[in-house]
Chain A
C-alpha cells in the first residue's frame, strides 16, 4: 500500500507555496499550515497595509511603539536572534535611503514588546519572512500530528518535517543559478530548513525584488554569489544565507567555519570553471 500524500499549492509571500504532507496528520493540517503562512504574510508584508507598515510609519516618525500583533512580535524576536547569529550581517533595517541605519539603531524590549528607533528607519523582512512563515507552518503541521512533510516557498526556501517518506534524509540538489546543467551541492535534511540566496539567475530579475543591501556600508551587493544555509529553523536559515551573500571575506570565513556542513558560499564570477568543484568554489 502506498504512502498517503496530500499537497496544498497557493501563492503567498510573493511566491508559490507548496506544502507536501505524507502519512499521518489530521485532515485540517494543510489548511492550518496555509493559514499560518497567510498570517505571516499579512503581518510582515510591506506591499500593502499591515502591522509592519504601521510599525514603519511610527519608526520613521521617531515614535516608540508597542507591538500588539503576536506574529510580528514573534518575528522581531527571531530577527533579534538572527542578527546576533550572523554578526549583524542580516539586518532588516538596512536601507539605502537612510545610510548607516540598521538594527543597532533599534531598542527592542522583548518582555514588553516595545520597540523604538534612535533614528528614522524602516523594516523590510525580505526573504526572512518566507523562512519564518515555513517555521510557523511546520509548527501548525506538527500540532496537527504530521510527522513527515516538505514545504517550499518559491523553491529557494525549504523546510522538512521528519525524514523522507521512504526513510533517511530528504535529498536536495542545489543547481547553479547561472548554469542550468550544473549542480553546486547536494544536501540531506531531517527536521531542518534550507535557504538559498543568490545575486544571479532569472529569479533576481523579478520586478518586485528589492536589491540586496550590504549593512556595513549601505551599498548594493553586486558580486556574483550563491549561498546556501541549513538550520533548525527557516528564519535562521534565511538570515544566514542572506548574511553570507553580503559578508566580506573575513566574516564569511568565520560564519562558514562555524558550521561547514550547513553553510556554503559560491563565487559565481568564475563562470568558466566547473561549478561542481565545490571545494574551490567555497569562499576561502
Chain B
C-alpha cells in the first residue's frame, strides 16, 4: 500500500469510527473511542515528536503490534526486548532502528522511552507493569491483564500510585463495526437484549513447535496453568468484554464446566470450556470455546427481542415476524362485516431451523483498530490522562475470565467479587 493509499484508508477508518460514535448515548457508551477518534482526526499528517515506545515481548503478537504502531501518527518504537533471541531478530525488520534488549530491566534502565508495550506471557504482565511504573513509564499491556484477579487490581493500584497511564489491548472497543453495532443496539433496533451467545471455536492443538534452543513452557506457555488460564484469558476475555459492554453491566455470577476433552497431550489448561454468565434481570452470556471443531468460529450473537447482531460477521438481523394466521384474519373480517376468501391448508408445522435471512451489513473495513488503539494511547500519554472508560472495561473483562476459570475449577457458581479496585 502506498502512503497515499494508506492515508485515505486511515482517514476512511477514522471517519467510520467518528460516525459510529456520533449517536445519542455513544459518548457514555464508548467514550474511549470518541476520544481516540477525535484526536486521530486532528492528528498531524506526519509523525512529529512521537511517544517513544519500548516493546517487551516480540513474539507473533508483539511483532503484529509493532507493525500497527508504525501506522500510528503519534507513536514510534524505539526499543524492543525479548529474552528469546530469535524473536528479537524477527522483530528487527519492523523496527530497524530500535535498540534491542534481552532483559526488560536493562531496557528500563537505559531510559529514552516514554512507555512500554507488554506482549509477553500472561503470568509476567503484572511484574513487568510494576517495574515499568516504578521506572516512571506509562504502560500499554495486552489482554488479559494478569494471571490472578488480585494482580489485575494491583496493576491498577500501581498505575494510580505512579500517576501513569495503564491501557489494556481490547481492539474490538475501537472497531467501527462493533461501535456501529452498539449504537444500533442502544437505539433499540434489536429490542431488549436478553442473551449473548459467544463462542471461539478452533480446530487445532493451539500448540507450537518448540525450537531446539527453547523449552515447551516458553513457547507453549498458554497450555500451562501457572502461566495462563488458557482459553479463558487468551480468547474469552475479548468476548466477555463485548458481553459486558453490550449488556452495560458486569455479571452477577458465573457457572461453568471445563475439561481437557480432546487434546490429551499433557496440557494443563482446558481445551473445552462452557460457561453461563448471569446478569441482572435474568440476562445471560453463554460462552463456549473449544479446540477441535471450527465450524462456528469466533462470534458473539447478541440477541434481542426484535433482532440479532453478529459483529464478527458484521451483520444485523431483524426477527422474522410471526405468520399471520388465516383464521385470525377471518375472525377480524367478520367483526368488521367483511367477507373474503380464507387462504387455508398451509402447513402449521414448520421446522424450527436457524433463520437464514441475510440481514444487513453493519459496515466493514480495513482492520486498523489496533492502530487507533495506539493513537489513543499516544494521546493519553501526551495528555497524562487515560482514555475514559477503557480500563474499567478491560479490568471487568479480565476479572470475568478469571472468575469463569474459578467456577470451572471449583465446580461451583462464583459470584462477582465485591472487593475490586475502584477505577
A interface with B by C-beta (< 8 Å) = 2-3, 5, 7, 15-16, 18, 20, 22, 150, 152, 154-156, 158, 164-168, 170-175, 177, 180, 183, 186, 194, 196, 201-206, 209, 228
On chain A, the residues within 8 Å of B331 by CB distance are: 5, 7, 20
Q: Which of A150, A167, A183, A202 contacts B343 (CB 8 A)?
A: A183
Given contacts A5-B334, A20-B330, A155-B344, 12 further A-B contacts (CB under 8 A): A2-B337, A5-B335, A18-B327, A152-B344, A154-B348, A164-B334, A166-B334, A172-B345, A183-B343, A194-B344, A196-B344, A205-B351
Q: Using known A-B contacts A202-B347, A202-B349, A202-B351, determine if residue A172 contacts B341 with beta carbons closer than 8 Å.
A: yes
B297 CB to closest chain A CB (Å) equals 28
Contact status B343-A173, CB under 8 Å:
yes
Contact A158 B344 (CB under 8 A): yes
Tell me if B345 and A166 are in contact (CB < 8 A): no
Is A203 in contact with B348, judged by CB distance below 8 angstroms? yes
Query: With the chains together, A158 CA to B348 CA distance in Å?
Result: 13
Q: Can you identify 28 A-B contacts, CB atoms within 8 angstroms?
A: A2-B337, A3-B335, A5-B335, A15-B348, A20-B331, A150-B330, A154-B348, A155-B326, A155-B345, A164-B334, A165-B334, A166-B338, A171-B342, A172-B342, A172-B343, A172-B344, A173-B341, A173-B343, A175-B344, A180-B346, A183-B343, A186-B341, A196-B344, A201-B347, A202-B347, A202-B349, A203-B346, A203-B349
Closest 3 CB pairs of A and B: A203-B347, A196-B345, A206-B349
Across the two chains, which residue of chain A brings its CB closest to B336? A2
Question: A158 contacts which chain B residues (CB < 8 A)?
Answer: 344
Identify which of B336, B337, B346 gathers the most chain A CB atoms within 10 Å of its CB.
B346
Q: Tell me whether A156 and B345 are in contact (CB under 8 A).
A: yes
Q: A3-B335, A150-B327 are in contact. Are A202 and B345 (CB under 8 A)?
A: no
Residue B11 is within 8 A (CB to CB) of chain A in the complex: no
Given A171-B340, A173-B342, A155:B347 Cβ within 8 A: yes
Counting residue pairs across A and B whose Cβ atoms lie within 8 Å, the total is 93
Return chain B residues, CB-CB under 8 Å to A171.
339-342
Cα distance, A158 to B326, chains bound together (Å): 12
| Closest partner residue, chain B, to A169 (CB atom) | B339
- Determine the interface band of chain B, counting residues with CB < 8 A from chain A: 20 to 34
Residue B350 at the A interface, CB < 8 A? yes
Query: B339 contacts A152, CB within 8 Å?
Result: no
Closest chain B residue, CB of each to CB of A228: B345
Partner of B345, one of A5, A18, A165, A174: A174
- Report the separation of the CA atoms of residues A154 and B347 in the bound assembly, to the nearest whole angstrom: 7
A174 CB contacts on chain B under 8 angstroms? 344-345
Given A177-B347, A202-B351, CB of A20 within 8 Å of CB of B327:
yes
Q: Identify the closest chain B residue to A14 (Cβ).
A: B349
The minimal Cβ–Cβ distance linking B346 to chain A, given in whole angstroms, is 6
* Complex-state Cα separation, A194 to B343, whole angstroms: 13
Contact bitstring B313-343, A, C-beta under 8 A = 1, else 0:
0000000000001110011001111111111
Tell me, in angstroms, the Cα distance from A3 to B345 when the chains sit together.
26
- Please, which residues of chain B bring their CB within 8 A of the CB of A180? 346
Nearest-neighbor residue (CB-CB) of A154 within chain B: B348
For B344, list chain A residues within 8 Å (CB). 152, 155, 158, 172-175, 194, 196
CA distance in complex: A120, B257 (Å):
51
A16 lies within 8 A of B348 (CB): yes
A226 to B337 alpha-carbon distance, docked (Å): 33
Nearest-Cβ distance from residue B376 to partner chain A, whole angstroms: 51
The residue of chain A having its C-beta at the shortest distance from the C-beta of B351 within the complex is: A205
Closest residue of chain B to A18 (Cβ to Cβ) is: B327
Question: Complex Cα distance A205/B348, Å?
Answer: 11
Of all chain A residues, which has the CB nearest B353?
Answer: A205
Residues of A near B351 (CB, < 8 A) are 202, 205-206
Residues of chain A with a CB closer than 8 A to B325's CB: 18
**CA gap between A172 and B331 in the complex, in Å:** 14
The complex places the Cα of A153 from the Cα of B342 at a distance, in Å, of 15
Bound-complex Cα distance A175 to B344 (A):
7
- Please, how many angstroms separate the alpha-carbon atoms of A158 and B341 in the complex? 14
Chain A residues closer than 8 Å to B340, beta-carbon distance:
171
Q: By the criterion CB–CB under 8 Å, are A166 and B343 in contact? A: no
